[in-house]
Amino acid sequence: MINFDNAATTFPKPLSVRRAAAEAIKSFGGNAGRGGHELAMRTSEALYSARETAADFFGAAPENTVFTLNCTHALNMAIQGVMSEGGHIIISSMEHNSAARPTVALAMKKQVTLSVAEVFPDSERTLESFRRLIRSDTRAVVCTIASNVTGQLLPYKEIGQLCRENGICFIADGAQACGIYDIKLSDGINILCTAGHKGLYGITGTGLLITDGQYPITPIMQGGTGSNSLSLFQPSILPDSLESGTPNVIGAVTVGAGIGFIGTYGMNRLRAHEERLCRLFIEGLEGTEGITVYRDAAAEYAPIVSFNTEGFTSEAAAELLSERGFCLRAGYHCAALAHATLGTKGGTVRFAPSVFNTEEEVRKLVYNVKTLKNLPNS
């Protein structure tokens, strides 16, 4: 089995992450921040270390680094938390449903007004889309750094600058970019939301919300935090205000280990490897009749490639490839807006390599895509 569905979640995980998970299960069995005994203290220390590692990685303070269930959870907290008092919000036309659905839900309840900024291959035109939509009551802009469908990179630093000039909170979705690009809050991001289990190589059930603290985030969930237990009100301090309930310590530890792996391997080297695999894949398919690759010369891309094969629906193509041992995600990738922007009515097949894929694996995939019509059951 060869996994090219790493944009959904990376697999395999690095050995250091697997070892960290095993060590966490063995040693960090207390409830972090909720007891004074040795086991709880040891567990709390491990959680803090993971928090500190993540904070350093993104240029944030540890207390402003919140562990979440996944990127969707982080985006929901950020969007609902920042927009709790209403106002106007802008999202891009390439957003994942994790950003689109919470904003649409708020708009349907008439709690906010929503605008969608059209994304173009040309970053200048995309930036202009955002600029045109800004109003006096615009409170937040939500934008993905890299599309989960095509990998297209959006001009997030310029959008951040635009937000800063207009006193608008910039919420960035880093799910497909973190771990591959050196993303920092100092890039103009007020709140960075990301997955822990994708480019950061942690286990599933992990995500991060990282804030510069400039825009208060009203919690969408209340509960036990291990602090201020006599109060019936949620603590206002971070990370407690946004981390109700027992934290996923094992998950957090693996995120810390995953970031450590990226540091040891080298982020530039890692990205170069994945980009090389994408180039190999695209070049391998070039000139093949009936193959459409969704890339535009005017745009820049993270190491993700979306394509379609004539005569097959995206799901049918992925199913045939699955029978040959290749794991690729097809369909709409939980990104209704992005597929509407691309005009891909039947969805696409997505190729998303990780650091663990090889050129040989990509060549095998290319051969199988090119010969799809000759595969059994096709």
Partner 1 sequence: MPSYTYAVKAQRLLRARGYPCRIRRREKTSSEGCGFSVLINGSCEGAERLLTGYAVPYSVRGGGADDDKL
Applying CB under 8 A, does 222 fall inside the site for partner 1?
no
Distance of CA 225 to CAs 78, 182, 234, 246, 252, Å?
19, 31, 8, 8, 16
287 binds partner 1 (CB under 8 A): no
Question: Interface mask (CB under 8 A) for partner 1, residues 31-70, using x and -?
Answer: -xx-xx---xx--xx--x--x----------xx-------
Shortest distance (Å) from residue 67 CB to partner 1: 11
Q: Are the beta carbons of 270 and 296 closer than 8 angstroms?
A: no
Q: Is 23 in the site for partner 1 (CB under 8 A)?
A: no
> Would you count residue 240 as binding partner 1 (CB under 8 A)?
yes
Can you tell me the distance from the alpha carbon of 191 to that of 171, in angstroms, rounded to the nearest whole number?
Answer: 5
Closer Cβ to partner 1, 40 or 321, answer by number: 40
Q: Which two tokens stand for residue 145?
A: 């750094």
Size of the site for partner 1 (CB under 8 A): 23
Q: For 19, phi and psi rounded to 5 degrees?
A: -65, -40
Shortest CB 102 distance to partner 1, Å: 26
Least distance in angstroms from the C-beta of 24 to partner 1 = 17
Q: Does 230 bind partner 1 (CB under 8 A)?
A: yes
Q: How far is CA 191 from CA 182, 213, 252, in A?
A: 15, 8, 19
Binding of partner 1 by 228 (CB under 8 A):
yes
| CA 11 – CA 4 distance, rounded (Å) | 9
Q: Which of 293, 299, 334, 332 is nearest to 126 (CA)?
A: 299
Q: How far apart are CA 309 and CA 307, in angstroms?
A: 7
Select from 123-131, 141-149, 222-230, 259-267 the region that touches partner 1 (CB under 8 A).
222-230
Q: What does the binding site for partner 1 look like in residue numbers (CB under 8 A)? A: 32-33, 35-36, 40-41, 44-45, 48, 51, 62-63, 225-231, 235, 237, 239-240
